[in-house]
Amino acid sequence: MAKIIVEKLVKIFGGNPKKALKLLKDGYSKGEILKKTDQTVGIAGVSFDVDEGELFVLMGLSGSGKSTLIRCINRLVEPTSGSICIEGRRIEKMDEKELRRFRGKKIGMVFQHFALLPNRTVLENVALGLEIRGIPRDDRHKRSEESLKMVGLIDWKERYPKELSGGMKQRIGLARALAIDPDILLMDEPFSALDPLIRNEMQEELLNLQEEMKKTIIFVTHDLDEALRLGDRIAIMRDGRIEQIGTAEDILSNPANEYVAKFLQNVDATKVLTAENIAIKPRETLRETEGPRTAMRKMNASDSDYILVVGRDRILKGIVLMEDALELAEKRERDVRGIIKEADTIDSNVLIEDIYPIIGKSERCLAVINEDYKCLGVITRRSLISSLAEERGVL
């Protein structure tokens, strides 16, 4: 269900936006409009929606419009035209008092720069938003302490910002946004000022927190690897427009145009694609009620010495080996239940780069399973190598 709906949003910077807006509707480009009107198109008619609990990433190069767009959503930047609807309420139609109340209760924002007050303790910085809302001191400190626990900094609550590292300061910024318990988090390049190691830790921290909180998050970044790691869906922007929206797999597998394809040239697919993405359907599977002769016939048909056994709804039961089926057939047994062995499995969400050491220990194949133990397919050494070769354009 959509939490945020943005329709035909336009933002034009300059003193005469009407003239530029007409040219935009007539199909003129951002550069042409700037030349003709001296007006800058920040957002050029963008439409998208964000589902409740989704981590939606806006990404693009500098000047693509991503930061302008996120600021339009809570009206830190006033849209020129279009609509922004949150939980059925039109943000662009709110008066100042209504907007201030809505921001205070519904939306938290985390910026690239920490904006911590140097003369206040960590706890007082986290409590700032609650103080502005008039929350009593004891209550706001209690809620701020809970937020600090979530980001692992409760022991630093009496320290001052000058005593903190960059990564710790960014955690404080996140804790401050969480303290007001917003439904929506807007995060504008929050980790871009951090060194690579701390940035990676903060990404992991955000994913862990999101697993627990299930907030609706719009996250802005210019880093493609960060977008692919974090986003449930990603919107790639250029010149104020959205070039493509999709999951990491959608965008990697089917870039919408040459611009997106060039964006993806240096992406390491092994750090993005998962076991489910490269799983192949086995040529044959066996039901546990079937007999050893059926098992051998299916193995022969697929030129294999083993076969996976699945139950109703493809729930994985295990694996049957040719030698065991042959022995059972000679005993004239009617089903294979007695010879089903445990299969080597891998969770569907495991990244390709982490599959190598696992498949190296498997004698046959890895059965790819989801959280319900449903068999989604298999990965063999051969299929893993073929998938990687295909991703890199070798095949």
pLDDT in tens, 209-259: 888 889 999 999 988 888 888 899 999 999 999 999 999 888 887 889 999
The confidence score (pLDDT) of residue 147 equals 87
Mean pLDDT of 307-325: 93
Phi, psi torsion values for 132, nearest 5 degrees: -60, -35
Rounded CA separation 10/83 (Å): 9
The confidence score (pLDDT) of residue 388 equals 66
Mean pLDDT of 370-385: 89
- Residue whose C-alpha is closest to residue 284's, from 270, 304, 266: 304
390 band by pLDDT with thresholds 50, 70 and 90: low
Confidence check: pLDDT of 389 > 80? no
Least confident of 50-59, 132-141, 336-345: 132-141
Confidence check: pLDDT of 394 > 60? no
List of residues 6+ apart from 387 with CB closer than 8 A: 278, 352
Confidence check: pLDDT of 273 > 80? no
The confidence score (pLDDT) of residue 176 equals 86
**End-to-end Cα distance, the chain:** 40
Confidence check: pLDDT of 100 > 90? no
Mean pLDDT of 272-283: 85
Confidence check: pLDDT of 160 > 50? yes
pLDDT in tens, 124-154: 988 888 888 888 888 989 989 988 888 888 9
Domains in the chain (CATH in brackets) are 2-269 (3.40.50.300), 276-391 (3.10.580.10)
Phi, psi torsion values for 16, nearest 5 degrees: -135, 65
Mean pLDDT of 17-28: 88
For the sheet containing 81-86, what is the strand order? 40-51, 2-13, 81-86, 89-90
Q: Can you give the pTM of this predicted structure?
A: 0.72
Q: Amino acid identity of 10?
A: V
Rounded CA separation 32/15 (Å): 17
Query: The tokens of 375 are what?
Result: 């068999």
Rounded CA separation 230/254 (Å): 19
Least confident of 289-303, 358-372, 375-389: 375-389
Average pLDDT, the chain: 88
Confidence check: pLDDT of 395 > 50? no
